[in-house]
Structure 1
Amino acid sequence: MANTYSQIYIQLIFAVKGRERLIRDEYRVRLEKYITGIIENHHQKLLAVYANPDHIHILIGYNNLNVLLPNLVRDIKSNSSKLINDENWFTGKFHWQEGYGAFSYSKSQIDSVIKYILNQKKHHEKQSFKEEYIEFLTKFEIDYKNEYVFEFYDD
């Protein structure tokens, strides 16, 4: 689109189906690099990504408005699932859960969001993913129903 400019920062969060801890640390960097390629192929700017064993955080500069956000997320999820399954990272079939969270930020918040994402391992020593995700929904004042939030199982 000629003369169309945007500066939108979005953090995406989605979980492994059933919140199983299937993303092992030895595969984490491979998955993150693969997802980086998917995002770049959609002409978006990756600012940070961290794959936890049971969920992932991705911060993008959403600057190609011709790419619909749901389509970008669909492609990230389907192509990364295909990678994991094709390379047999574990016995069984890998799937991401349906749905995702998308949270927007201002330019002044980007450095702290990047630090937050890259510090996930330490962060989750103190807070579960469920607590974290509910906190996001609350902080961003998103009305939600427990039955429609990611599948959470008591540990």
Structure 2
Amino acid sequence: MSSYKQIIYHLVFGTKRREFTIPETHCLDLYKYIRGITKNKNCTLYQINGIGDHIHILTDLHPSHGLADFIKDIKIASSNWMKENPDFPNWDGWALGYGAFTCSSKEKPNIVEYIKNQKEHHKKESFYDEYKRLLIEHEIEFKEEYLFK
């Protein structure tokens, strides 16, 4: 008997202190680096984008990986890479925590478009408001004082 899976996550995580430390001129390099991490873990990265203080990733998750370890690996590897890269002179690390929202294959095209349009989107909505809205839409309980620790 074969095993089949569909585990798609919309991941969101921010920079330390939500500072704009991902320069727009070099964000594509970061996204390529993260794409390599996901590929090495047998995951498919459908879309990645963000702005200077956070990123969104839409990816499947191979069943051999736990979500928390997968995100930890992405954050540690990408943070170390940026610290060693002169193109990210103000990089200070990722913030603690993350948002992880499951989605179906039917929702995937809309979420891909949403992530592609991050720069336009954030002309109208702050990261704080976006993150809070995503938590509410996905019915995730949270304490506002811990949102950006």
Q: Structure 2 vs 1, CA of residues 44 and 16 (structure 1 numbering), >3 Å: closer, same or farther? A: same
**RMSD of aligned alpha carbons:** 1.3
Q: Match for residue 104 of structure 1? A: 102
Contact 1:49 1:117 in 2 (8 A): yes
Contact 2:51 2:119 in 1 (8 A): yes
Could you tell me which amino acid in structure 1 is paired with residue 35 of structure 2?
T
Q: Match for residue 59 of structure 1? A: 58
Q: Does 1:114 align with 2:112?
A: yes
Q: Does 1:18 align with 2:14?
A: no
Q: Match for residue 128 of structure 2? A: 130
Residue ranges of structure 1 left out of the alignment (5+ in a row): none
Structure-2 separation of matches of 1:113 and 1:125 = 18
Could you tell me which amino acid in structure 2 is paired with residue 88 of structure 1?
P
Structure-1 separation of matches of 2:65 and 2:22 = 27
Q: Pick from 65, 86, 89 the counterpart of residue 88 of structure 1.
A: 86
Structure-2 separation of matches of 1:145 and 1:89 = 35
Structure-2 separation of matches of 1:90 and 1:77 = 15
Share of identical aligned residues, percent?
A: 38
Structure-1 separation of matches of 2:100 and 2:146 = 15
Deviation for aligned residue 1:113: 0.2
Residue ranges of structure 2 left out of the alignment (5+ in a row): none
Contact 1:9 1:61 in 2 (8 A): yes
What TM-score, normalized to structure 1?
A: 0.91
Deviation for aligned residue 1:92: 5.2
Deviation for aligned residue 1:55: 0.3
Deviation for aligned residue 1:8: 1.6
Deviation for aligned residue 1:91: 4.1
Deviation for aligned residue 1:147: 2.0
Q: Match for residue 28 of structure 2? A: 29
Could you tell me which amino acid in structure 1 is paired with residue 76 of structure 2?
S
Deviation for aligned residue 1:94: 2.0
Deviation for aligned residue 1:76: 0.6
Structure-2 separation of matches of 1:132 and 1:99 = 16
Contact 1:17 1:96 in 2 (8 A): yes
Contact 2:14 2:53 in 1 (8 A): yes
Structure-1 separation of matches of 2:143 and 2:18 = 18
Structure-2 separation of matches of 1:123 and 1:93 = 23
